Structure 1
Amino acid sequence: MASMTGRDVAAANGGDGTLVDWMARFGTEEACEEELLRRMFPEGFRCPSCGHARCARVRGRARKWQCTRCSRQFSVTAGTAMRGTKLPLVKWFLAAYLMTHSKRGVSAIELARHLGVSERTAGYVLLRLRGAMARSESVQAA
C-alpha cells in the first residue's frame, strides 16, 4: 500500500488540506466528538448490547455517549491516543494536523506554542500520537 501525504488524506476526506479547511471541519469540540463517533462506528451506530441504532451525548459528561434504548455508555476516546485525557479534543486534532502537515516533524516546544499548553503536555501528546501512528503502520504492513 502506498503511503499517503497529509494532503492526500485530506482530499480523501473531502477537504483541500489547508488549516482553514481543518478549522471549518474540526474547530469545535462537538465536531471532533462526532468525527470520533463516525470513525468508531463507520457503518452507523449499533449498540453492542441491544443493537439499537441511536445514541446521544450524556449531559454533564464530556465525551460520553449512550444508547437511547438500553443506556449503555461509552466514550468516543476509548481505544484512541486521546483516552483518559482532559485536554480538549480540538487541541489533539490540531496536534495531529500539525504533525502530518510538517515536512520535518514538530517538536514539543513548537507544539506547545501552537496549542497553548506546557512543553510537558505537548511532549505527552506527541508521544501518544507517535505511538498511535506507529501502531497503525504496523497493522497496515501486516
Structure 2
Amino acid sequence: MNLLHFIEQFPDEFSCKSHMKLARSKEGVICKKCQSKKHYWLKSKWMWQCSYCGFRTTLRSGTMMENSNLPIRTWYLAMAFMTFSKKGISAAELQRQLNHTRYTTIWSLMHRIRSGYATKNGTKS
C-alpha cells in the first residue's frame, strides 16, 4: 500500500472508525469487568456493550489509542507515515506532515505506535 492508496481507502474519520470496528470485531472483544466474549454493538455510541453485565467497551479501549484525544484518522496517518518511510520519520517531521501544533503529543503517539509494533512482533513486552 502506498500513501495514495491509503488516502483513497481512509478518506475520513468514519472510514477509519469502520475499519477499526471491523478489525476489533474479528479479533473479538472481551469485557474488562466479567471477561465475557458476548457483546452487541451500540451504533449511536460507537461502542460495544456486554450482553451479561452491560459494561461498555469503546473502539480505543485496550489499544495503543486508549486515553488519546487525537482522532483515529490521525493515528492511522501516523502509522502510515511511519510504515511507508524507508529510513524512518522524526517526530518533528511527522508533526509537520500531520499539521499538529504540539511536538510532545506526536512524540508520545510515535512512542505508543513503536511499542505496539514491538509487542505485536514479540520483540518487547
Q: Post-superposition shift, 1:56?
A: 2.8
- Between the two proteins, the alignment pairs up a number of residues equal to 119
Q: Distance in 1 between matches of 2:2 and 2:37?
A: 41
2:8 is matched with which residue? 24
Sequence identity of aligned pairs in percent? 27
TM-score after normalising by structure 2: 0.78
Q: Out of 98-107 and 20-29, give the one that drifted further.
A: 20-29
1:84 paired with 2:67, answer: yes
Contact 2:29–2:37 under 8 Å retained in 1:
no
2:43 is matched with which residue? 57
* Unmatched 5+ stretches in structure 1: 1-16
CA change 1:45–1:113 in 2 (3 A) is: same
Amino acid paired to 2:92 = I
Contact 1:29–1:89 under 8 Å retained in 2:
yes
Select which of 95, 99, 105 maps to 2:82.
99
SS where residue 74 of structure 1 aligns?
A: strand
Q: CA RMSD in A?
A: 2.7
1:66 paired with 2:53, answer: no
* Unmatched 5+ stretches in structure 2: none
Amino acid paired to 1:42 = K
Q: Post-superposition shift, 1:121?
A: 1.2
